[in-house]
Amino acid sequence: MAAMDIVLTTIPLPGEAIKYLENHGFQARMVSDMEEETMARAVALLCWCMGDLDLLSMIGKLRGLRAIQTFSAGVDHLPFNAIPPHVAVLSNAGAYSRPVAEFAWSLVLALAKGLNGTTPNRSAYISSPYSKPYLIHGKTLMVFGTRGIGGEAARIGKEGFKMRVIGINRSGAPAPGIDEVHPSTDAPRLAGRADVVIVSLPLTKETRGIIGRDFLSNMKDESILVNVGRGEVIVEEDLYEELKRRPGIRFGTDVWWNYGSGESVMKTKTGLHSLPNVLGTPHIAGGATYSDEVSREVIMSAVTNVVKFLEGRDARNLVNRSEYV
Amino acid sequence: MAAMDIVLTTIPLPGEAIKYLENHGFQARMVSDMEEETMARAVALLCWCMGDLDLLSMIGKLRGLRAIQTFSAGVDHLPFNAIPPHVAVLSNAGAYSRPVAEFAWSLVLALAKGLNGTTPNRSAYISSPYSKPYLIHGKTLMVFGTRGIGGEAARIGKEGFKMRVIGINRSGAPAPGIDEVHPSTDAPRLAGRADVVIVSLPLTKETRGIIGRDFLSNMKDESILVNVGRGEVIVEEDLYEELKRRPGIRFGTDVWWNYGSGESVMKTKTGLHSLPNVLGTPHIAGGATYSDEVSREVIMSAVTNVVKFLEGRDARNLVNRSEYV
């Protein structure tokens, strides 16, 4: 029997994934078990490509590599310049839609009801700009990003809370279940219509700093902004100033500007993380590293997608490198 | 022109409500403006009947009174023994469905994602039993109370988060949009199926202490219990013991056991309010006293309902006193 092509992985795959690969003629092997022969036969690499792997030091040895498929939704952390042009990069966008959209909604509702600033003093609770409850039902939701996480966040707003949904994407192309979609250039003009804004954009050259003073200054005095995409999509200094100036604007975020790592990920140079109208969490929305059910979905999504690519079928999330470098 | 029948109110009504009453032949008058003549012509009384009115001292003078209509959803605080039997009592159940169901969901999601115990330490966050994120999508929701608040909470769970919904009510009679309904006597047996339990029951003789050890001990190790009905529906001591014993059960509540009033409403004799798996708010879910939009809906609901009653049409929420005394 001829040796099967190898798909490398940085994390142990569940039996279901190994079986799927075998059924399609591929053998799963851990990067940590790599020998010269393994490397030569590796056609694809599955990785977080963050702490789990030093891609720079090994990429040269993977001479047969055709694709890198990340477990993560974002790929902005990849060393694109070191990856040969003939190696395709595939992200795992979409695999996190449910947990992350659900997490975004937990931030929206917690901020809407002032749960980050609870006090037993009822009159203080309902009169403080930081905790006065906002009603969401029937209001207007704006989503930055209309597929994957953004699409699912829009669906929850529409079906769960009967909101009108404005979608923002690059081209303004319509998206299923979203009432109206506009190109990102129009977002600042439309900001004043939104009661809730959910940002789920990946970080690319184009999205970096896409939400700045022009958008923020047009937001309603009592509105909610939640970011579950990437921190740098919002200009930190502009947001800090707006949150200081208008305490009725509440900001929730699971993603940061990366001035530190580990425990210090939530530190910010402006001190934004300490404002009373900010509710932050340390990049936990995805959940693949602590939830078995999310983990399974994330891994199977990555595995089935890379197999599609290797077989020349319609793979999702083929990354256009020019958006990143 | 003959003098119109008077509808007394303890709070100023918006023009819309005054107009509505006039169109139906009733004159709105504030209780604070009462004279002997006003009292004799009063056929109905609109009140919170809490701090806004000393009902005991005036009920004897309201000789023409046919109905007391509360602005509040619950009527458990009314001095039923002092209200003559021929005076109907009408509650405002249903008028708070949207804000309270939405509030219940803010507690559910905040607890599900550990937002009450955020820490910048990612590994501490995701490994603590008090903050480890739970996924809600597709799980099972149990609602105590299948109309009004319970019905709307069920709808949000089903449409927003694709949950299977088990309803609990007195008779087990089917309810629209709820997958299966069971009588309250079956609840303890079914407790183990629920990932999320939302309680929206009024306090009556029958519902007092309806959730006790037999129900709580059957709940899943990782599950969420939220109360937006009345505190005494749950047996405090039993809940305290279960929350101490099983830290993965998370409890959110807007209603309390009333050992104090004002700022001390959130105090409990067991100390339950200080447990790390508890998230509490001081009875603010309804929102009628701070939100103009809720207030309008609440007042119009009370006014239109009492007019229906006075005109002999189908009024809602006619209170069966035997449930309370």
For chain B, say whether A79 makes contact (Cβ under 8 Å): no
Q: Is the pLDDT of residue A146 over 80?
A: yes
The residue extents of the domains of chain B are 5-94+291-323, 97-280
- B125 is written with which tokens? 């966050």
Are A17 and A300 in contact, with CB atoms under 8 Å apart?
yes
| Rounded Cα–Cα distance for residues B17 and A244 (Å) | 40
Q: On the CB side of B28, how many CA atoms lie within 13 Å of its CA?
A: 23
Question: Do A135 and B280 make contact, defined as CB atoms within 8 angstroms?
Answer: no
The edge-to-edge listing of strands for the beta sheet with B26-30 is B26-30, B5-9, B42-47, B67-70, B88-90
pLDDT band at A261 (very low <50, low <70, confident <90, very high): low
Q: Tens digit of pLDDT for each residue in A151-164? A: 999 999 999 999 99
Are B48 and B70 in contact, with CB atoms under 8 Å apart?
yes
Chain B: closest CA distance from residue A6 (Å)? 33
Question: Do A279 and B115 make contact, defined as CB atoms within 8 angstroms?
Answer: yes
Among A283, A295, A287, residue whose Cα is nearest residue A228: A283
Supply the pLDDT for residue A262.
64
SS3 state at B89: strand
For chain B, say whether A262 makes contact (Cβ under 8 Å): yes
What's the mean pLDDT when you consider all of chain B?
93
Q: Looking at residues B165-186, what average pLDDT do you find?
A: 97
| Rounded Cα–Cα distance for residues B135 and B109 (Å) | 9
Question: Do B289 and A126 make contact, defined as CB atoms within 8 angstroms?
Answer: yes
Angle at A298 between CA A294 and CA A302, to 5 degrees: 170
Are B20 and B303 in contact, with CB atoms under 8 Å apart?
yes
Q: Which helix (H) or strand (E) holds B26?
A: strand B26-30
Name the CATH superfamily housing domain B5-94+291-323: NAD(P)-binding Rossmann-like Domain (3.40.50.720)
Chain B residues with CB-CB distance to A257 below 8 A: none
* Cα Rg of chain A, angstroms: 21
The edge-to-edge listing of strands for the beta sheet with A26-30 is A26-30, A5-9, A42-47, A67-70, A88-90
* Cα Rg of chain B, angstroms: 21
- B157 is written with which tokens? 């769970």
Supply the pLDDT for residue A2.
65
Q: Is the pLDDT of residue A194 over 80?
A: yes
- Top pLDDT among A20 and A60 is at A20
SS3 state at A146: coil
Of B135, B264, B266, the CB nearest to A291: B135
DSSP code string of B221-283? SSEEEEE-S-GGGB-HHHHHHHHHH-TTEEEEES----SS-GGGGG--SS-GGGSTTEEE--S
Q: Tens digit of pLDDT for each residue in B93-137? A: 999 999 999 999 999 999 999 999 889 888 899 999 999 999 999
Q: Is the pLDDT of residue B21 over 60?
A: yes
Q: Tens digit of pLDDT for each residue in A272-324? A: 999 999 999 999 998 877 788 889 999 999 999 999 999 999 999 999 999 99
Among A51, A201, A109, A221, residue whose Cα is nearest residue B156: A109
Of B110, B133, B267, the CB nearest to A110: B110
Chain A residues with CB-CB distance to B119 below 8 A: 282
| Rounded Cα–Cα distance for residues A146 and A183 (Å) | 11
Q: Is the pLDDT of residue B200 over 60?
A: yes
For chain B, say whether A113 makes contact (Cβ under 8 Å): yes
Q: Which fold has domain A97-280?
A: Rossmann fold (3.40.50)
- B93 is written with which tokens? 């159940």
| φ/ψ of residue A160, rounded to 5 | -80, -40
Q: Looking at residues A80-93, what average pLDDT do you find?
A: 94
| Rounded Cα–Cα distance for residues B195 and A293 (Å) | 15
Q: Looking at residues A85-102, what average pLDDT do you find?
A: 95
Q: If one looks up domain A5-95+291-323 in CATH, what number appears?
A: 3.40.50.720
Are A223 and A197 in contact, with CB atoms under 8 Å apart?
yes
Q: Which residue has 């604007």 as its token pair?
A: A249
Q: Looking at residues B289-309, what average pLDDT do you find?
A: 91
What's the mean pLDDT when you consider all of chain A?
93
Q: Looking at residues A33-42, what average pLDDT do you find?
A: 84
For chain B, say whether A186 makes contact (Cβ under 8 Å): no
pLDDT band at B2 (very low <50, low <70, confident <90, very high): low
**What percentage of chain B reaches a pLDDT higher than 90?**
82
Q: A5-95+291-323 and A97-280 share one CATH topology?
A: yes
pLDDT band at A208 (very low <50, low <70, confident <90, very high): very high
Of B112, B121, B282, the CB nearest to A120: B282
